[in-house]
Amino acid sequence: MSDYDTLRWFERKARKSGTKIHASRLETQHSYPFYTLKVNVSGVMDAFIVLEANKKGRCLSISRLVVFGVGEENSVWKDSNHLVFKKISQIAVGAVDYFMDKAPRSLLGLVLEWISTYTTLFTAPCSGCGKHLYFDSQQFKHLPPTLYTFDDEGMALPFHPACQKK
């Protein structure tokens, strides 16, 4: 399936579930084989995915995935000004590696599904400790659950990174 088909599938799936997520290809200076997708997650955050695609339009790899607050004006090559989005961008590196190892042919679809779980970033408590805020580190201070994983039934579970390891 091409990236265009994957985006159409993702948009249909989001509409069916009632999730307010929109993914679109940015019309920037074309530097084949790379291009950028912008994913707006329910007014919570914007994720930018820099992809490398083959001539048929299939995602070969993800070069960068960075997350910003909605309305934050930054280059995709810089980090967010907000600690919570810096942390999610850091977690995204591991998620992309995990999905690449798991199913490289479905990489874009898996990453889009994972990003869409962040609709509850500021509202859902941690599935481990039950709290909304947790002291992450000196660098990141107190954060909401920033690590979303899937259970055996495919339900997204929010965790603070320290609570998920327990």
Q: Which residues contact 60 (CB under 8 A, 6 or more apart)?
A: 33, 51, 52, 53, 54
Contact 23, 35 (CB under 8 A): no
| Residue 27 identity (one-letter amino acid) | E
Query: What pTM does this model have?
Result: 0.87
DSSP string, 125-148: PPTTT--S-EEEETTTEEE---EE
Q: Does 20 reside within a domain? A: yes
Say how far residue 125 (Cα) sits from the centre of its chain: 19
Q: Does 73 reside within a domain? A: yes
Contact 119, 20 (CB under 8 A): yes
Q: Quote the CA–CA distance of 166 and 18 in Å, as a whole number.
A: 33
Q: Which among 38, 51, 30, 46 has a CA at the least distance from the CA of 104?
A: 51
Count how many residues are written for the chain.
166
Q: What is the pLDDT of residue 40?
A: 93
Q: What is the pLDDT of residue 49?
A: 92
Q: What is the pLDDT of residue 25?
A: 82
Domain of 10?
3-104
Q: How many CB atoms lie within 10 A of CB 59?
A: 23
Q: Quote the CA–CA distance of 148 and 86 in Å, as a whole number.
A: 15
Q: Residue 26 corresponds to which tokens in the numbers above?
A: 């940015």
Residues with pLDDT less than 70, the chain: 1, 27-32, 166
Q: Does 120 reside within a domain? A: no
Q: Which residues contact 39 (CB under 8 A, 6 or more apart)?
A: 21, 22, 23, 46, 47, 48, 49, 112, 115, 116
Q: What is the pLDDT of residue 130?
A: 97
Give the count of domains, the chain: 1
Q: What is the pLDDT of residue 91?
A: 95
Q: Does 54 reside within a domain? A: yes
Q: Quote the CA–CA distance of 156 and 162 in Å, as a whole number.
A: 17
Q: Does 77 reside within a domain? A: yes
Q: Does 116 reside within a domain? A: no
Q: Quote the CA–CA distance of 21 and 11 in Å, as a whole number.
A: 8
Q: Does 35 reside within a domain? A: yes
Q: Does 51 reside within a domain? A: yes
